[in-house]
Amino acid sequence: MGRKQTCILDVAFDVVTMEEAAEKAKSFLRAEGQHYICTPNPEIVMEARTDGELRKILKKADMVVPDGIGVVWASKYSEKRLPERVAGYDLTQRLMRDLAGTEESFYFFGGAPGVAAAAARKMRKDYPGLKIVGVHNGYFDEKEEKKILEDIKKHSPSILLVGLGAPKQEKWIAEHMRQTGAKLCIGVGGCFDVMSGNVKRAPKVFRRLGLEWFYRLITQPKRWRRMLRLPVFALTVLKER
Ligand code: UDP
């Protein structure tokens, strides 16, 4: 299956709609071997400029989708336009909806203690028949990490959601995917915080207008320093167009 991709500041994104991304993700479950999906936002695209390891991981990913309207905007200046934002949160919700009641299973790994478990309870309620075979929080030392890997392997999930924040989760997946045995790994950032209800997603109007970043800025002002990278990203895109 050929891939239609477009480069944004040297990160190759797959030119897919949400629908196509979900179908492709499900095709990975039927395919041979293991796969992983990255969902970079502008901050991560910027980070990849100075982080060679991250760059390599993004290059080797089986699918890269834009989690951020800034990336979709930037594609105006690349060879092909990205049709829409494919947020990691929406993609995973979609997969859980489609796979509930099937044999495919999930494992939630990441977030503060208790968050992944709360997210799992909520998702089982939202998607009856959904199989979540294990959860673990995302704060661990080396010894604990070994146990986590064993636990994941023991429960052999089809899909492992890794929410350690970017780029930690991407590096974790690249290093450990093999040991987990999961068919598909997805780096999901703070998704468990949202699934559990601890953090609210921006209201629909903000999302429709492409202003989710603005909503997050006013509700989580701690993020402002990270968000300074947004205008830098925009300027870099314009300069390199
Ligand atoms: N996190 C974690 N382990 C760590 C650092 C962070 O599990 O060592 C979790 C944190 O609890 C949060 C998520 O990773 O749930 C990061 O959320 P954020 O919204 O910052 O994600 P990003 O925007 O970086 O993808």
Is residue 5 situated within a structural domain?
no
- The type of residue at 166 is A
- Nearest Cα residue to atom 19 of ligand 1: 190
Q: Does the CB atom of residue 217 touch ligand 1 within 6 A?
A: no
User: Domain range for residue 158?
Assistant: 29-196
Determine the Cα–Cα distance for residues 204 and 184; give it in Å rounded to an integer.
29
CATH code assigned at 178? 3.40.50
**Tally of domains within the chain:** 2
- What is the predicted pLDDT for the residue at 225? 82
The candidate with the shortest Cα–Cα distance to 152, out of 122, 172, 128, 125, is 172
| 23 confidence band (pLDDT: 50, 70, 90) | very high
Residue 3 inside a domain? The answer is: no
Nearest CA to ligand 1 atom 18: 190
pTM: 0.95
Q: Decide: 169 and 54 in contact? Cβ < 8 Å.
A: no
Cβ–ligand 1 distance for 14 under 6 Å, the answer no
Confidence of residue 241 (pLDDT cuts 50, 70, 90): confident
Residues 113 and 219 reside in one and the same domain: no
Beta-carbon contacts of 64 under 8 Å, excluding residues fewer than 6 positions away, are 5, 11, 12, 13, 14, 37, 38, 39, 40, 58
Give the mean model confidence (pLDDT) for residues 198-211. 91
Q: Which atom of ligand 1 is nearest to the CA of 188?
A: 25
Assess whether 167 and 226 both reside in one domain: no
Strands (E) in 78-119, as ranges, are 105-110
Residue 226: pLDDT band (50, 70, 90) is confident
Percent of the chain with pLDDT over 70: 100
Closest residue by Cα to atom 20, ligand 1, is: 165
Nearest Cα neighbor of 58 from 1, 9, 11 is 11
Take residue 233 and report the two structure tokens written for it.
């990203």
The tens digit of pLDDT for each residue in 119-163 reads 999 999 999 999 999 999 999 999 999 999 999 999 999 999 999
Q: Is 17 a domain residue?
A: no
For residue 83, cis peptide bond before it (omega within 30 degrees of 0): no
